[in-house]
Chains A and B, each alone.
Chain A
Amino acid sequence: MTAPVNLVRHGQFHGGLALEPNKAIALQTPLSRAPLPDRLYLPIDQHQGDAGAVLVSPGDRVLKGQPLTRAGGDRRVPCHAPSSGIIEGLVQQAGGLMQRSGQDCLVIRLDGLDEAVAPLPLAQWDTLPANALIDHLHAMGLVGMGGAMFPTAAKLRGDWPAIDCLIINAAECEPWIACDEALIRSRPGAVLAGSRILARASGARRIVLAIESHAVEALEQLAAVNQNDEQLPVELVTVPSIYPQGGERQLIQTLTGKEVPHDGLPQDLGLLCHNVATAAAAHDAVVEGRPLTERIVTLSGPGFEHPCNVLARIGTPLEDLLALAGGLKPDAARLVLGGPMSGLTLDDTAMPLGKGTNCLLALTDLEIAPTAPTLPCINCAACVEVCPASLMPQLLFRQLQADRHEPARELGLFDCIECGLCAQVCPSHLPLVDWYRHGKSVLRKKTLDQRQAALARRRFEAREARLAEQAAAREARRLRRQERLQNPDAAKDDILAAIARARGKGPEQKDD
């Protein structure tokens, strides 16, 4: 039977803004599968952490689902071939949500056969110990698919108190993005089963699936397949459609009224948050034995002819996806990777689809308002009202503008989640988020520089000490020799000893 839908919410995060969702436009077309491209460009580092060693060589034929890099600790996630083909080699390509340049990508020339390795499902996963489940999810290449691409295994085990509640984050709060909603509508059962797998792996006793109140149809789909008689029921909770509801810390505040400590993790509160797409991927990995090699991505915005959601292989060049949405309209002025609030302008359409790429947005001049002039900050504090982190964004801006980075750190620069609301409501049209990103990078670099400087200083001091020690030893030897030469008896002894040595009779005496 269907589970009761719990409409109670316990808290409300500070600030936020109700934005026009604009999600229906991409959901009009049913979810379709993107055709296989000629080549896949598979970034080998698609997570927070370093890449594993590449296991294949150019010319190798790989099958769909075959691991291409070696898994390491929980923060070294393997990647798998999304389809069958021939490895052509490694190229450098921009990748990831931040579009970092020079990412190593394995190029696979697909043969179109889409031959797969034998699936590796975990039979009777609900009887296995948590560690076995986590190891399997890690081996299947799972990372957070909400965007941050944090290794799932590293989130599931660690040095924290027991997890009480698993929160499945289906609050897709950015306008236009509808990939999670498309996923829930097409595979509600996989989402729920995957949620239970993640709960089992984390030891959580409760599962709450949070979804924004506007996603009525998705909620109905979930409620229709949600089985009440399972050991672990999934509580379906609607949360208000207020941006940035889907932010992990904001969602936790809405659901529990608690705040994640600024220097801590949700796990410290006995909570664990996973994206809904990650839950579905966990289902695929455990029940179907398939590694994470594809995801749903939203192609939407007024700049596309036919906005839609597509299921595409990881590594597909984004430019190959444009045609699936009917191509760009003539007035499309900007492509954005991610949502309109926190996404970044896409510089290079050759960039491949990553495990965390949720949306490709095509916007026209109407949305990006390229002519809006910027004025100085008038201290109106509209940003203070909307900031979900309760910061004073205008003060941060003024400090950063004056190159005062340390005071900005004191004012909580690193508590900024870069949601973009301050810039959205700024009457002076200041690019505030760009200032904060820049300020953070300056401070990170400074910390790094300080660390390197400290290391260099330690090395220098060690070398100086070593040299001083050597010099002191030399001086001591010199003094000893001098002393002996000044002492006539000792000098005579030395001479006699030398003569004796020369005759080959005297005692062996080693000069120092």
Chain B
Amino acid sequence: MTEARKAGGPHRPPSVSVSGQMGQVLLALVPATGLHVVFFGWGILVQISLALAFGWALEALMLKLRQRPIRPFITDGSVTVAAVLLALCLPPLAPWWVVGTGMVFAVVIAKHLYGGLGYNLFNPAMVGLAAVIIAFPDAMSNWLSPRGLGDPMPGLGQTLHAIATGSLPTGLDWDSISRATPLDELRTGLMARLTVSEIRESAVFSAFGGHGWGMIALAYLAGGLWLMARGVIRWQAPLAVVLTTLVIAVTAWLFSPDSAFPPSQQLFAGSLMMAAFFIVTDPVSGSSTPRGRLVFGAGVAIITLAIRQFGAYPDGVAFAVLLMNMLVPLIDRYTRPRIYGHPA
């Protein structure tokens, strides 16, 4: 695996490396992670640490079982990025076995059982997320109330206790520290036949999606734009996600402002921004043609919105991405660029 470049060239130092690209993705996630700490406390840092520990251990184990060299692959950064992305999707106080299960599905099943780096058909972080959404519905719906709404915020010790044991330390109870996410609130409100304007009176909403949620989404957007400017990700898939969401959400909202999710909620309340810039841009499981990336992004947006509006889960990004992953070979087949000198 460490062979030198062959005689055929190019005889120039390589411009980029996998680990360099992954490192930039991690850097682009720093603002969102920081805001996550501001609004939801220490939990996310613990989740990230746990996800990394599980991820690296499982990666090393699988490489050993598959008799692959450990060092080049554990340092390529791919498992690090998958771990951080999965952790960012988990409720801050989710017990450790949630993230553990998620990482087993992400690293062992989605990645290595399909052939390791470069060969996975499905986005590992999303496989892990989908698995824990199905396996731990309660733990996955216990979201903390964002800071600034007057609810108590658990300290570092309390956070560690909750994650380590799966139950809150004495003195804290779920009713006082948790609050439904904006998307949850919308879904249950609509099911209770409330109008959107009534539902949005809840303090969890803000002009930009939800209180705290909107800021974090903006941080993902900023990080994503930076990656785009650096040439690490391409513009097609994120733009397709955002534009498709806007077109559908605005249309639905114009026709039925009382029962359709408002556009700002669709864009900024859930994990759509994160998905647009950090999930659908995953090279391995995404489309590799320019036009295909547009189709892929649009598909993710459509399925996500459909699940949000009609499905059984408050957010649908994980399932939307996995469903579109299945279609990638087909998309790539039909969006291949025309080769120079060949008829259209």
Answer whether A and B are interacting partners: yes
Residue ranges of A at the interface with B (Cβ–Cβ < 8 Å)? 13-14, 19, 175, 249, 253, 259-264, 334, 336, 340-345, 347, 361, 363, 366-382, 384-385, 388-392, 394-395, 412, 415, 420-421, 423-429, 431, 433-434, 437
Q: Is A379 a contact of B283 with CB atoms below 8 Å?
A: yes
In-complex Cβ contact of B15 among A262, A389, A425 (8 A): A425
Is A342 within 8 A of B10, CB to CB? yes
B1: chain A residues within 8 A (beta carbon): 373-375
Residues of B within 8 A of A249 (CB): 340-341
A429 touches B5 (CB 8 A): yes
**A434 and B8: CB pair below 8 A?**
yes
Contact of A369 among B3, B6, B13 (CB under 8 A): B13
With both chains docked as a complex, state the minimum distance between the C-beta of A228 and any C-beta of chain B, in angstroms. 35
Q: How far is the CB of B210 from chain A (nearest CB, A)?
A: 33
Pair A388/B340 contact, Cβ less than 8 Å: yes
- Whether the pair A374, B3 counts as a contact (CB closer than 8 A) is yes
B14 touches A372 (CB 8 A): yes
Which of B6, B78, B284, B341 is within 8 Å of A261, CB to CB? B341
**What is the number of residues of chain B that contact chain A, defined by CB distance less than 8 Å?**
43
When chains A and B are docked, how far (Å) is the Cα of A367 from the Cα of B8?
14
- Say if the beta carbon of B178 comes within 8 Å of chain A: no
Given A390-B339, A425-B16: A376 and B3 interface contact (C-beta under 8 Å) = no
**With A and B bound together, what is the CA distance between A389 and B339 in angstroms?**
6
Contact status B284-A431, CB under 8 Å: no
Distance A368 CA – B10 CA, assembled complex (angstroms): 8
Residues of B within 8 A of A370 (CB): 4-5
* B31 interfacial by beta-carbon distance below 8 Å: no
Kindly list 19 other residue pairs between chains A and B, CB separation below 8 angstroms, not including A379-B283, A415-B341, A424-B12: A13-B340, A340-B11, A341-B11, A345-B7, A366-B13, A369-B13, A371-B4, A372-B5, A374-B1, A374-B3, A377-B118, A378-B284, A379-B118, A384-B288, A384-B290, A384-B337, A388-B340, A391-B339, A425-B15
In the docked arrangement, what's the CA distance between A491 and B312, Å?
Answer: 105
**B-chain residues with CB within 8 Å of residue A433 when the two chains form the complex:** 8-10
Question: Is B148 part of the binding interface, using a Cβ–Cβ cutoff of 8 Å?
Answer: no
Q: How far is the CA of A431 from the CA of B9 in the complex (A)?
A: 7
Which of A13, A372, A415, A434 touches B17 (beta carbons < 8 Å)? A372
Given that A369-B14, A394-B288, A429-B14 are known contacts, is A341 also in contact with B340, CB under 8 Å in the complex? no
- Cβ of B192 under 8 Å from chain A: no
Closest A residue to B5 by CB, please name it: A431
Task: State whether the Cβ of B20 lies closer than 8 Å to any Cβ in chain A.
Answer: yes
Contact A343 B9 (CB under 8 A): yes
Are A427 and B16 neighbours in the complex by a CB distance under 8 Å? yes
Contact A375 B8 (CB under 8 A): no
**Which residues from chain A contact B2 at a C-beta distance below 8 Å?**
371, 373-374
Q: In the assembled complex, which residues on chain A have CB atoms less than 8 Å from the CB atom of B7?
A: 344-345, 347, 434
Q: Answer yes or no: B101 CB below 8 A from chain A CBs.
A: no
- CB of B338 within 8 A of CB of A390, answer yes
| Complex: chain A residue closest to B78, CB-CB | A378
Q: Using Cβ atoms and an 8 Å threshold, which residues of chain A touch B290? A: 384-385
A344 to chain B minimum Cβ distance, whole angstroms, is 6
For residue B283, which residue of chain A has the nearest CB? A380
Q: Roughly how many angstroms separate A182 CA and B60 CA in the complex, as a whole number?
A: 56
Which of B17, B283, B339 sits near A429, CB closer than 8 Å?
B17
**What B residues does A431 contact at CB under 8 A?**
5-6, 8
* B141 at interface by CB-CB < 8 Å: no
- For the complex, is B18 an interface residue (Cβ under 8 Å from A)? yes
Chain A: CB-nearest residue to B72: A373
- Are A342 and B72 neighbours in the complex by a CB distance under 8 Å? no
Contacts of B78 in A (CB 8 A): 378
Residues of B near A372 (CB, < 8 A) are 4-5, 13-14, 17
Tell me how far the C-beta of B343 lies from the nearest C-beta in chain A, rounded to whole angstroms. 8
Chain B residues with CB under 8 A of A425: 15-16
Q: Are A427 and B118 in contact (CB under 8 A)?
A: no
Report how far A423 CA is from B14 CA in the complex, Å: 8
A378 to B143, CA, bound (A): 34
- Find the residue from A345, A389, A427 having the highest chain B CB count within 10 A: A427
Q: Are B340 and A415 in contact (CB under 8 A)?
A: yes
Residues A392 and B11 in contact in the complex (CB < 8 Å), given A262-B342, A373-B72, A376-B117: no
Known: A262-B340, A379-B283, A389-B340. A427 touches B5 (CB 8 A): no
Q: Are A340 and B5 in contact (CB under 8 A)?
A: no
27 CB-based A-B contacts, threshold 8 Å = A262-B339, A262-B341, A342-B10, A344-B8, A366-B13, A368-B13, A369-B13, A369-B14, A371-B4, A372-B14, A372-B17, A373-B1, A373-B2, A375-B18, A375-B72, A377-B118, A378-B117, A380-B21, A390-B338, A390-B339, A391-B337, A392-B332, A415-B342, A427-B16, A427-B20, A429-B14, A433-B10
- Please report the C-alpha to C-alpha distance between residue A334 and residue B283 in the assembled complex, in whole angstroms: 34
A368 touching B5, Cβ below 8 Å: yes
Determine if A367 and B13 form an interchain contact, defined as CB atoms under 8 angstroms apart. Answer: yes
CA–CA, A433 to B8, complex, Å?
7
Of B9, B11, B73, the most chain A CB neighbours within 10 A belong to B11
In the bound complex, CA of A420 to CA of B12 (Å): 10
CB distance from B228 to the nearest CB of A (A): 13
Distance to closest chain A CB from B152 (angstroms) = 44
Cross-chain contact of B9 among A261, A373, A388, A420 (Cβ < 8 A): A420
Instruction: Quote the shortest CB–CB distance from B96 to chain A (angstroms).
Output: 30
Distance of A375 Cα from B19 Cα, bound (Å): 10
Closest-by-CB residue of B relative to A437 is B8
User: Within 8 Å of chain A (Cβ to Cβ): is B166?
Assistant: no
The residue on A at minimum CB distance from B17 is A427
Q: B residues 67-90 with Cβ under 8 Å of A?
A: 72-73, 76, 78
Q: Contacts A373-B2, A389-B340; is A336 near B9 (CB within 8 Å)?
A: yes
Which residue of the partner chain, among B6, B72, B289, contacts A381 with CB atoms under 8 Å? B289
CB distance from B76 to the nearest CB of A (A): 6
Q: A375-B72, A375-B118 are in contact. Are A392 and B288 (CB under 8 A)?
A: yes
User: CA–CA, A375 to B118, complex, Å?
Assistant: 9
Inside 8 A of A366's CB, which chain B residues have their CB?
13
Residues of B with C-beta under 8 A to A262:
339-342
Question: Does B230 count as interface, using CB distance less than 8 angstroms?
Answer: no
Nearest first, the 9 closest Cβ-Cβ pairs linking A and B are A376-B118, A262-B341, A380-B283, A345-B7, A381-B288, A420-B10, A370-B4, A431-B6, A434-B8
Q: Which of B119, B289, B341 has the most CB of A within 10 A?
A: B341
Question: Is there contact, CB below 8 Å, between B9 and A342?
Answer: yes
Q: Which residues of B contact A175 (CB under 8 A)?
A: 12
Q: Which of B101-125 contact A (CB under 8 A)?
A: 116-119
Report the separation of the CA atoms of residues A415 and B13 in the bound assembly, to the nearest whole angstrom: 26
Chain B residues in 8 Å Cβ range of A371: 2, 4
Contacts of A373 in B (CB 8 A): 1-3, 72
The contact string, 1 if C-beta is below 8 Å from chain A, for chain B 108-150, is 0000000011110000000000000000000000000000000
B274 to chain A, nearest CB (A): 20
Contact indicator B11/A363 (Cβ below 8 Å): yes
Instruction: Mark out the residues of chain B between 278 and 302 whose CB falls within 8 Å of any chain A CB in the assembled complex.
Output: 283-284, 286, 288-290
